[in-house]
Amino acid sequence: MTHRLPNQFRAISILGLLSLLCSLCLAGPLDSTLDHLVGNASLAGGKAAIHIIDLNSNRELGEYQSTELMIPASNMKLLSSGAAFMILGSDFEFRTTFDIFEANGHKTLIIRGSGDPALGDPGIFEDEEQALSHEALFDAIAKALTDRGIESIHEIVVDDRVFDRIWAHPDWPIDQLNRWYCAEVGGLNFQTNVIRMFPIPGSLGGTPLLEMQPDLPWIDVQIKAKTISKGRDSAWVARPTPANKFTLYGNVRGKTDIPVSVHQPSLFAGRVFAHALSKRGIKIDNNGYIEESVRLASPTDIWDSSPIAVVTTPITDVIKRTNTDSYNLYAESLLKRIGHEITGDPGSWENGASVVRLLLSQHVNASAAQSTIIADGSGMSRDNKVTPKTLTKWIGVLARLDDWDTFKASLATPGNGTLKRRFVNTNLKSTLHAKSGYLNGVYALSGVLEHPNGQRAAFSIILNNIKPGAGSRAAKPFIKDVVIEIDAYLEEQTPGFGG
């Protein structure tokens, strides 16, 4: 006997078959590979989210939980640096100006900050022939003053109003605010807003000596460390209060380098310049103390001043330090600067984040803008949330810019920057440019692979809730395996595929 399904059931079966066929058509060629890699990874209960697209065709090549909101760690810098690159342009320069204003027989030196994170950064001037070292910078400003016959200054005013004065982000870990990677952010920054302290052994069992760079005679440092001849160096510096008071603890066996962040970086920078100029013969005297002759600009300050010197930093240098070296201060300065650029108000985390969301809405889609949570620009905040799919689409937006090659060059490559020890023996056939990311329990890598055959893929791999031990040991190898599979896929494609 022949049994026939009722018409309505046959229709449902056909629709189900069509739905299955459509899902198979929409599946990316790397979906099953990703499923296999995740299934065999020893992530110890950690969560993975991955998205891969063909940059030539915008076709999805693979995804695994790609719309899951994840903590991106330093992959957040792709959003802040990319937004700055779009808003400010590849020819933008940060400009720090030194002006003189004279009234009632008194001369005032006005230092106008532009939010430049690179002013006095050893990581910039040690690598760049044209950049100014500390001493050369101080010499140049002193000469600019003496060339105009200026031998004394009544006060120095730091005009840092390009940014707000919320120095440290409220989400950053309080117990790490003395670390260089949690440096406060100012409209005027100097030496990445850290002091480099160099403990030096003294007599055995006695108090160590201490050198600082730059030389800061007004800084209060208590030394509670001791000199040892055996064992390891354990010297560290505490700055437990929102003030520039420091304490050296631990054991000192040899000379070490300890970078410590400072409070109120704009004021700190002004005082550094005041002491440096004083050492070069420029008298600075308001109340008898050099540091008291420095103040921050008030909301109502207006000057009809004339510039005597300008220090510039190309945005390309700033973005490279942001992405290759993953320097947090740089990313935060970029985020605040675009907030100022668009609103005209002092740059802040809030108006900078609004600019990034606006760009996501305009160039990716409204859903990406609404779902992405932007707390800061560097990724230090664990409140940041973004999906891997949003990041690959964002990379696709950047890849269509005329200056894409310039932005791409800001990203780390195997053997360089944060990828110094990663992918160096992997024998990738494609060129890798990527931004890494790490916080406790978070591992991320997002970027591009470009094969000599013309194939290009953007990818974002984010792992969250990775526990110490087996999970953390497996995280980076897992990310490497995903990149290797993307590279192998691109290798298999014929030239022009997906173009």
What distance in Å separates the CA atoms of residue 230 and residue 180, rounded to the nearest whole number? 28
Tens digit of pLDDT for each residue in 237-293?
A: 999 878 899 999 999 999 999 999 999 999 999 999 999 999 999 999 766 678 889
DSSP tag of 354: H
Which tokens belong to 129?
Answer: 């022939």
Percent of the chain with pLDDT over 70: 91
Using alpha carbons, select from 340, 341, 345, 352 the residue that is nearest to residue 384: 352
Say yes or no to pLDDT of 128 above 70: no
Helix (H) or strand (E) holding 51: strand 47-54
* Residue 460 bridge partners (DSSP): 51, 446
Where does the pLDDT of residue 495 fall: very low under 50, low under 70, confident under 90, or very high at 90 and above? low
pTM for the model stands at 0.92
**CATH fold for the domain made of 30-89+317-492:** Beta-lactamase (3.40.710)
Half-sphere exposure of 234 (CA within 13 A, CB side): 11
Tens digit of pLDDT for each residue in 435-445?
A: 999 999 999 99
Domain assignments of the chain as residue spans, ordered by start? 30-89+317-492, 93-316
Tens digit of pLDDT for each residue in 158-196?
A: 999 999 999 999 999 999 999 999 999 999 999 999 999
